[in-house]
Homo-oligomer: A and B are copies of this chain.
Amino acid sequence: MPKVKVYVTLKPGILDPQGATVAKALKSLGFRDVEDVRIGKFIELYMSDVEEDEIPQQVEEMCRKLLANPVIENYSFEIEK
């Protein structure tokens, strides 16, 4: 079954309060070398009965329609066979 790994990240410049909180928590745990943290989503899709060459187009559409908010997020994906 083909597996697709989708990475959704906030665009540069978009505030990431969750990341800022994690950066602060890491520093207070003693990890003083951490400068910045950005938190995104890592989505694994398992697909069946699909022509392999249709996957990129389908996943692109899924990202635009549901998985990412293209106004504030970037996305990329990798297909594993």
Contact = CB atoms under 8 A, between A and B. Distances in A.
Contacts of A7: 42
A49 B66 CA distance: 39
A43 B33 contact: no
10 contacts: A1-B35, A9-B42, A22-B67, A25-B66, A33-B48, A35-B47, A36-B45, A38-B46, A40-B44, A41-B42
Interface string A18-33: 0100100110010101
Chain A interface residue count: which class?
A: 20 to 34
Interface of A: 1, 7-9, 19, 22, 25-26, 29, 31, 33-50, 58, 61-62, 65-67
Centre residue among A22, A47, A65 by max chain B CB count within 10 A: A47
